[in-house]
Amino acid sequence: MAANVSNMELDLDGFFQHNSTFDYGDYEYIEEKSSLGNFEPSVTVFVPVLYAVAMVVGLLSQGLVLVILWQKRLSWSVTDILTLHMSIADVLLLLTVPLWAVEAANEWIFGLGLCKLSGALFKINFYFWIFLLVSISVERYLSIFHGVKKYTRTKPVLVHLSCLVIWILSLLLSVPDLLYLKVISNSNREGKKECAHLYLTKSKYLASRLIFHIVGFLLPVVVLLICLSCIFLKNQKERDSRVNKKQRGQWTVLSLVVVFFIFWTPYNIALLINTLQGSSDVDGQMKGVAVYFTAVVAFLQCCLKPFVYFSMSCKFRHWVLKVLRCGGCSLLSRNFSMWHSEELDQSDPQSPEEKGPLTQMSDKGDSIIQLKLSERSEEIQRCD
């Protein structure tokens, strides 16, 4: 009996000697992109082609918008200033596309600095766009229901300052990307290097994800839904033609919101599922692939927004055609707005009446000028 007790104590002692605790301080979590598995052939062929199309179309369309804004730089409206900042955000993201295309086709070869910068610009573009759309929607809501106007034509500096605040906020929220993006060797891709997030603790991983999900997506979505719902419910009660003209800018904002969420919502949903359920084994690999490809799709939204301007604004189409016909033409008229049609300003500084006394002209020349002015007035009326 004593021998049995002794053997039991020996066995228990051996059990506790070989037991050890796990140190969660050594936890490392590598982002989902590091395990594409059997999807590798699709990534190396399809994704670079998709990136190339997005970059070419995006830079051409956004470049055209910037050319038009530059041509009319002396007479910017509020919407022109907002469009300028939007285009800058998209162009900055598009400039990183070649880096991601090379990584998808082979590996990351651009070093740690460009890895952090490219990853941060991806999140900065997301934060800037959603916060700017929220800001515009809140301003519209306060203007319609409470008579408060933040964006005014007489104080364009306030518009620039508002955009600057949004830029700074977006930069601050992208700090986790600047901290945790690393160039790592991917064992699943034969040791090839890639730019991916590497978190040293579980708490840092969860904190970074929650900031993105809650501050960057869920809260802005709630605000957008409330403001836009109230605005368009009120607009349904006011159907006269004068009000409908003013609503065109609001429809453009709604179109931009729709485009934004069509391309960013899949990424947010995939990332949220991955955060809640983790990534392990085959199921985790599938979630990782979903996050990766939805991130690729998110890049495409940069090249579609100019087409929203083109489809929603008759005057924007007019000036696009004018710039394409004569790239040196100056667009100095205040009658043009990127998002919506404005009433014709009778005191146009470019009008002949403000340029001093006119010399006598021939009847033929006078008829030509009258014809041109009539055609211009008819075209503006069609746009309005």
Is 322 domain-assigned? no
CA distance 231 to 234: 5
Is 153 domain-assigned? yes
Contact by Cβ (8 Å): 141, 227: yes
Confidence of residue 5 (pLDDT cuts 50, 70, 90): very low
Is 121 domain-assigned? yes
Contact by Cβ (8 Å): 203, 179: no
DSSP code for 341: -
Q: Tokens 């999900």 identify what position?
A: 213
Provide the pairing of β-strand 181-186 with 192-199.
antiparallel
Number of domains in the chain: 1
123 has a pLDDT exceeding 90: yes
SS3 198: strand
The pLDDT of residue 355: 42
Is 116 domain-assigned? yes
Is 306 domain-assigned? yes
Confidence of residue 93 (pLDDT cuts 50, 70, 90): very high
Is 365 domain-assigned? no
Give the domain range for residue 49. 24-313
CA distance 150 to 94: 30
SS3 243: helix
- Read off the tokens for 93: 């993201």
Is 73 domain-assigned? yes
CATH code of residue 36? 1.20.1070.10
- Read off the tokens for 156: 């364009």
Is 337 domain-assigned? no
- Lowest model confidence (mean pLDDT) among 46-50, 140-144, 245-249: 245-249
Give Cα separations from 83 to 4, 19, 336, 337, 361 (angstroms): 84, 62, 13, 10, 41
Confidence of residue 68 (pLDDT cuts 50, 70, 90): confident
